[in-house]
Amino acid sequence: MKKALTYVLTGLLAGLVLMLGAPAASAHGGAIKLEVTGDGADNVNVLATYKKDNHPVTEVVEATLTATSTDGRSFGPVPLRSAPEGQNLYHSAEPLPSGEWEVTVTATEPSKAKVKAKVKAGEIAASPVAAVGPAPAQSKAAAAAAADEESATGMPFKIGIIVLVALLAVVAFIALARRNRASIGR
């Protein structure tokens, strides 16, 4: 009977380990990549993601922006500020003057990264077509936030299953122990 109890408990623990599997990487880390685009007016959008898995950088990104125009003007360095539109979306702290610019963004935290991009800045009226949907950087940020939310709701479910399996293991142990005592008493 003792062997049966050992087998049952081993099976339950093995099932528990298989069910849990490897925990999802909640803390990413590593190298980051920056994507730079103009916002269609006088600012610059910078999207920060991890190179390894392309997930949004959830840590604070310390970065500065410098720019050189085609007519020789220079702009910056200007720090980047977190944008309200997305978790990993940043804007320059000051608007970019009108013109065509070669923008360089240099990040120092959470890891070093540098990127250059050509951006056109200037006041433009929003067209009805452009106002219909979110900007690509905003939709990427929204999709990443939805994925993070989906993985967060999976955790309580996993915890519930763990508790249920543990309770079943305790009940099985008690039942087998009683049966074992009853067979010894005969």
Eight-class DSSP state of 56: B
Closest CA to 40 of 107, 150, 129: 129
Whole-number Cα distances in Å, 26 to 23, 49, 72: 8, 14, 44
Q: Which two tokens stand for residue 99?
A: 């013109």
pLDDT digits (tens, 9 = 90+) for 3-39: 766 776 677 666 666 666 544 444 567 888 888 877 7
CATH fold of 32-125, please? Immunoglobulin-like (2.60.40)
Report the sign of the C-alpha dihedral through residues 146, 147, 152, 154, in that order. Answer: positive
pLDDT value at 97 more than 80: yes
pLDDT value at 143 more than 70: no
Q: Which residues face 121 on adjacent strands?
A: 99
Cβ contact 55:145 at 8 Å:
no
Task: Give the list of residues 6+ apart from residue 88 with CB closer than 8 angstroms, or none.
Answer: 47, 48, 49, 56, 57, 58, 61, 141, 144
Report the chain's mean pLDDT, rounded to a whole number: 74
In this prediction the pTM is: 0.49
Q: Where are the domains of the chain?
A: 2-24+150-185, 32-125
